[in-house]
């Protein structure tokens, strides 16, 4: 081996033998670990969000009610899908509790829709219209530029982003929905979509239980957001949060993926629009908002409305395709306390092909109940650990989608944390 060759080998591997390099590497690893630890979600001392009930209850048909409504946004041409949803919630819940159903439409209702939906429920119904100025582009926005952006988003294959009405809907559900005249008299709402199905009996009043337990937001399914729909949303929300000096809670931290880039390079990550000013990102986990049971006053409050106005004037509802689910989720995680968010793990629910199906509670199906037997006389097998009431879906498989986001968003309230969730958090 020549002298020159030996010299090259030493140069090539010499940096690995430098104590300075090793000290610097260890320091970077420690700094990164310390930074990530700031987003650690500690295990709570007790379960903070247990199911309200873990078996069937005898429905209290004459008990006190909350000031609440079931709300559906629909179109006349969705009459059959809307009727299926209303029949399902009627069979599984509202036949006993009779909460009013408010239907919203940006066009006048057809007589066929009104007659069909009235025939699908025993509850009071109200058919209202969304004001035209709340289902259009903001007055200050360049409409031609917004429409060109919508077309471009559609051409690039971004989910639903090529539909102008979809942008209007997401903007509406993110903001003026909460202050619309038709809902001003209510405090609580249960959002119902056309073409959904409830596969378990709901034999207690969720509005009463939400109020009793001081909850503000309830959900069934949690999924990843489509990243291309909202590349700058997290940055806009986190910048507003920082400007308002709102402290981070464990619920907010559960939605953040801490950057593994060491200082000072981490701050360079903030150049990317989908990261906050510190270079950390959003894990894209959100509550699927086609099902929500929530406190209207929470969203009518000054903080949420100020946030919405900030987002509104950024233009992202049209120049990107910000979904109301993502907006609601980031707002709830920022403004609510962890114990104020409830997962309805005992509700069987399907929308599109995604579903949640709890197992039936052993010994808790009240087979002798005449009231329940009038609605549902057959149900799926009872499984140990089940919390469902007369569910007719297969409870041996609780859901047909990844549970990563559900586990992440429930972490502040529970000690039940599958190891796979934390392993995946290093990958995504």
How far apart CA 314 and CA 162 sit, in angstroms, is 19
Catalytic residue among 209, 292, 320, 368: 292
Contact 109, 77 (CB under 8 A): no
140-170: burial string, b at 16+ Cβ within 10 Å, e else: ebeeeebeebbeebbeeebebbbebebbbbb
How far apart CA 404 and CA 407 sit, in angstroms, is 5
Integer-rounded Cα Rg, in Å, for the chain is: 25
292 an active-site residue? yes
How far apart CA 29 and CA 33 sit, in angstroms, is 6
Cβ neighbours for 244, distance < 8 A, ≥ 6 positions apart:
303, 306
Q: What is the 8-class DSSP label of residue 359?
A: P
Cβ neighbours for 219, distance < 8 A, ≥ 6 positions apart:
287, 288, 289, 291, 292, 341, 342, 343, 344
How far apart CA 207 and CA 212 sit, in angstroms, is 9
Give the pairing type, strands 217-219 and 341-343: parallel
How far apart CA 58 and CA 201 sit, in angstroms, is 11
The dihedral through the CA atoms of 233, 235, 239, 245 has a sign that is positive
Here the tokens at position 217 are 């937001």
Active site residues: 292
């Amino acid at each position: 081996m020549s002298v020159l060759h030996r010299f090259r080998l030493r140069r090539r591997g010499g940096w690995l033998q430098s104590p300075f390099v090793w000290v610097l590497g260890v320091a970077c690893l420690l700094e990164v670990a310390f930074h990530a630890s700031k987003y650690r979600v500690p295990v709570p001392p007790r379960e903070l969000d247990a199911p309200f009930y873990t078996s069937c209850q005898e429905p209290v048909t004459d008990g006190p009610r909350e000031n609440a409504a079931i709300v559906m946004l629909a179109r006349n041409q969705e009459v059959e899908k809307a009727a299926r949803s209303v029949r399902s919630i009627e069979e599984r819940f509202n036949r006993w509790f009779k909460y009013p159903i408010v239907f919203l439409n940006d066009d006048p209702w057809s007589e066929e829709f009104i007659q069909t939906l009235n025939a699908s429920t025993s509850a009071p119904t109200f058919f209202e219209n969304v004001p035209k100025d709340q289902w259009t582009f903001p007055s200050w926005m360049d409409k031609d530029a917004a429409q060109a952006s919508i077309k471009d988003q559609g051409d690039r294959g971004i989910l639903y982003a090529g539909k102008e009405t979809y942008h209007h809907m997401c903007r509406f559900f993110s903001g003026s929905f909460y202050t619309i005249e038709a809902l001003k008299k209510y405090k609580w709402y249960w959002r119902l979509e056309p073409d959904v199905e409830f596969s378990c009996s709901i034999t207690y009043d969720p509005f009463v239980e939400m109020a009793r337990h001081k909850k503000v937001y309830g959900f069934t399914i949690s999924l990843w957001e489509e990243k291309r729909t909202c590349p700058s949303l997290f940055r806009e929300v986190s910048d507003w949060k920082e400007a308002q000096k709102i402290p981070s809670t464990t619920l907010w931290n559960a939605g953040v993926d801490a950057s593994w880039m060491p200082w000072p390079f981490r701050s360079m990550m903030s150049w990317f629009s989908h990261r906050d000013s510190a270079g950390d990102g959003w894990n894209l986990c959100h509550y699927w908002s086609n099902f929500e049971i929530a406190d209207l006053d929470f969203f009518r409050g000054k903080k949420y409305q100020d946030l919405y106005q900030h987002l509104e004037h950024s233009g992202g509802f049209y120049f990107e395709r910000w979904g109301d689910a993502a907006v609601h989720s980031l707002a709830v995680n920022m403004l609510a306390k962890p114990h104020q968010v409830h997962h309805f793990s005992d509700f069987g629910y399907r929308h599109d092909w995604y579903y949640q199906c709890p197992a039936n509670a052993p010994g808790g199906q009240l087979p002798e109940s005449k009231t329940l037997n009038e609605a549902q006389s057959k149900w799926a097998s009872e499984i140990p650990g089940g919390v469902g009431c007369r569910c007719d879906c297969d409870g041996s498989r609780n859901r047909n989608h990844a549970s990563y986001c559900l586990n992440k968003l429930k972490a502040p309230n529970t000690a039940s944390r599958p190891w796979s969730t934390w392993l995946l958090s290093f990958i995504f």
